[in-house]
Structure 1
Amino acid sequence: MSGLDRFVAVLSLYSETADVWSVQEMANALDMPASTVYRIVRDLVKASFLEPATSARYRLGSAFPRYDRLARNTDPVVRAGSSLLHEIVHQARVPCVALLSRLCNDMVMCIDHEAAKDVEFEWSLFERGRPIPLTKGSTSKVILAQLPAQQRKKLLTSKDSNGSAAGAELSQKGEFFTFIRKQGYHISYGEIDPTLIAIAAPISVPEMGLAASISLILEDKTNNEDLERRLVLLLVSSASLLTEQLRRSEVTEIIGQSATG
């Protein structure tokens, strides 16, 4: 295991239910010598990825909020779309949560969200920083539909695809993804939470290496045919606007680089 892999292994131990660890606990969990883990922890503390807690234990350090702020301020989709989420929630006029999500290496992750003030349903599974299952829900499927067939198949059949059997089955449904791509949106009903539906539209800017989506999560009990039609139009137009903004920003950046070069 390389040095970087060891650092990642230690940090991967942390979760919402296991937020402090001692060196010996880490060593037991990772099957490593305590002396090796101690050196890793020492380096992680020095770089502010960990910090001392009580009883000779360690918690996540200040590097994470610092880099999260940097990621928010430099992610092109967040910069272009964050204010748009607020407007979408306002125009939806129903209790809902709007998400910006994108493909990050081998996973789909929510990178920004906006919730209406009157939302009463549980939506923590969709908040920023949460990986979204590749094989479930319109948020991921709209993104998968943008990818070349070989890349999509590789993602869905990998060991990290949230269920290899479901991923392998979905990877064979090329016509399904072609339909989503041509339709320009997708609606899923109860795939992640049986009480919720999700409507998603694609944000595809391959010249920037971006495969993303904008989606609305709402309760199935509030849905009806007229509302669904209106929300689809709202999302598709918003996704189109955001895609165009991203493309213009890319052209502007290229022109700026040419001028300074």
Structure 2
Amino acid sequence: MPRANTKTKPLKATPKTARKARSVAVKARDSEQDSSSLSRMLSTLQLFTREHPVLSAEEIAKGAGVPTSTAYRYVKQLATAGLLVRWKGGYTLGPSIMELDLQIRECDPVIRAASEPMRTLCAQTGLNALLTKLYGNKVMTVHIESTSDTGSLAYGRGRPLPLFRGSSSKAITAFLPAAKLRRLFENGEAQGDEQLNDWESFHASMSNIRRQGFALSVGELNSGIEGISAPVFIESRQVVGSITLIGDAARMALLREEVVIEMVKAAAATVSSALQ
């Protein structure tokens, strides 16, 4: 009986399958290029600052490191979307940004969950409450409930905070996975604090915050201002933000620090529960 041939013949690409493969590769490349171009275009919005609120297309080209023709194309598309508007021969930020800001205030799940507990904290203590969130390697305050003027804060709403200065940031970063915490330290994010110059001291400081369940700072971001913060979690104890009460030292002393700590921890736990 003849033995069956078990060898598999190699597949040969037909002209049709080759064309299809080339088409898929071209589409993938074009999609990647489009995504990169969109990212570069949107990043030009970060060129507008308090010092430079109005920019010409030429200034945008220089700041973004792109040809002037590309800058004009960016400006046209951003203006069509309402993200830029013309102003005295240049451009400034447009109304769509304000609309997006309103959407964030009304739609962000963490803000929605935290607003009422923060208002309660303010009413009970007479202090100002902050909600700070983690975005990748960036931390910023996204919502404030206040009983007094907060305009003098060094880092108000929307301004990125130092990762390891101030209780709001520390209450978040202390609960990051150990590998990410080590990476941030090695990247120099903790430099500038002489108490955190070596990994052992830094890790011990973060571990202490984890054990306590809160972070406390005095004058680290604003002179004479004390902050008490507790982390906010979603599922699997993933930290997404922190709740903070801030006030001057005299006011904190009247309220008794240990009482304020428990109130902040309870508010953060309420928000975390709502986000599960």
Instruction: Please give the alpha-carbon distance, in whole angstroms, between the structure 1 residues aligned to 2:221 and 2:58.
Output: 37
Any idea what SS the aligned residue of 1:125 has?
A: coil
Aligned to 1:143: 172
Q: What is aligned with 1:243?
A: 272
The Cα offsets for residues 52-100 of structure 1, whole Å up to 9 and x where unpaired, read as 112x21111122122222222332111111122111011013xx32001
User: Is the partner of 2:197 in helix, strand or coil?
Assistant: helix
Listed one character per residue, the Cα deviations across residues 186-235 of structure 1 (whole Å, up to 9, x for unaligned) are: 11011112221111011122448542110011112433275212211211
Deviations 1:104-133 (A, max 9, x none): 1111111111111xx356544343212111
C-alpha deviations, 1:126-185, integer Å up to 9, x for none? Answer: 4321211102011111101111111122334447x4x65659837652222221111111
2: CA distance between counterparts of 1:184 and 1:208?
12
Partner of 2:63: 29
Pair member with larger Rg: 2
The Cα of 1:47 is off from its aligned counterpart by 1.7
Instruction: Give the alignment's TM-score, normalised by structure 1.
Output: 0.82
State whether structure 2 residue 248 is matched by structure 1 residue 214: no
Q: Secondary structure at the match of 2:163?
A: coil
Separation in structure 2 between the aligned mates of residue 25 and residue 190 of structure 1, nearest angstrom: 38
Correspondence for 2:14: none
Q: After superposing the two structures, state which structure 1 stretch, 25-34 or 182-191, moved more.
A: 25-34
Provide the rounded CA distance (Å) in 1 between the counterparts of 2:76 and 2:140: 30
**Higher mean C-alpha deviation, range 163-172 or range 27-36:** 163-172
The SS at the match of 2:229 is strand
Question: Match of 1:255?
Answer: none
Q: Which of residues 58, 79, 86 in structure 1 aligns to 2:112?
A: 79
- Other structure's SS at 1:129 match: coil
Change (3 A) 1:243 1:171: farther
TM-score, scaled relative to structure 2: 0.78
The residue type paired with residue 177 of structure 1 is: M
The residue type paired with residue 131 of structure 2 is L
* Count of residues in correspondence between the two structures: 240
Residues 126 and 132 in structure 1, CA contact (< 8 A), matched pair in contact too: yes
In structure 2, give the amino acid aligned to 1:7: M
Alignment-derived partner of residue 128 in structure 2: 97
State which drifts further: 124-133 or 221-230. 221-230
Contact 1:112 1:127 in 2 (8 A): no
Structure 1 segments, 4+ long, off by >6 Å, are: none
Structure 2 portions without partners, runs of 5+? 1-32
1:194 aligns with 223
